[in-house]
Amino acid sequence: MNVAEFWKFLERSAEETTDPAQRLDWLAYRLSRVSLDHIADFQLHLEAARRPIDTYAMWGAANQIMDGLCSGDAFWYFQPWLIGQGQRWWQHAAQNPDNLADLPAVRALAGSSPWEWADADWPHWEGLAYVAPRAHDHITGRENSLDEAQDARGHRTYCDPEPTDHPWDSDSLAQIEQRLPRLARLFPRQHNVKP
């Protein structure tokens, strides 16, 4: 599975259903019908897609959308959600995290508090990180079989954010307004913000 096929496969799941759990089921079912190498490729492409968006800049943007509630785990789950929006939106946001303001799924959250969001609307999709391991384990009949396959390829799997840019204070109103002007207008912070 090459990178174009990865994106096509992921985007096809969104054409089938918008429900995150049903998309995962669709992906797991389809992945369980391809070769083990293709399943490993899917996971590698997913992890590679995380790298350009695993930044403090993107973390700050996610934190703004979530009204200051974006912990390390929440940011880790936000990344596959953003990837799940499709290649076009992922690239657009990777260019500048403030571009998240253009995403239809983000705009749909504006004007309401995170406490009002339905579970399916939250900008996180933890399960996408586990769909390939689930399919791989199903085919092999062994737990953690994908980890073994990735190790054999010499791939280091990481499981927490590892931002590569410079940290900034995403709870500072001045820095938010400077770095994320459009998101600041769409999602005025209610909590955990410093003047």
Quick: pLDDT tens for 41-70: 999 999 999 999 999 999 999 999 999 999
- By three-state DSSP, how is residue 14 classified? helix
DSSP assigned state of 112:
S
Give the pTM: 0.94
First and final C-alpha spacing in the chain = 48
DSSP assigned state of 163:
-
Check residue 154 and give its pLDDT. Answer: 87
Check residue 195 and give its pLDDT. Answer: 61
In the chain (195 residues long), the average pLDDT of successive 10-residue segments reads 96 94 95 95 96 97 95 97 98 98 97 91 95 95 92 86 93 93 92 64
24 Cβ contact partners less than 8 Å away, ≥ 6 residues apart: 127, 128, 131
> Would you state the structure tokens that stand for residue 74, as one six-digit string?
């929440």
Check residue 194 and give its pLDDT. Answer: 67
CA atoms within 13 A on the CB side of 182: 11
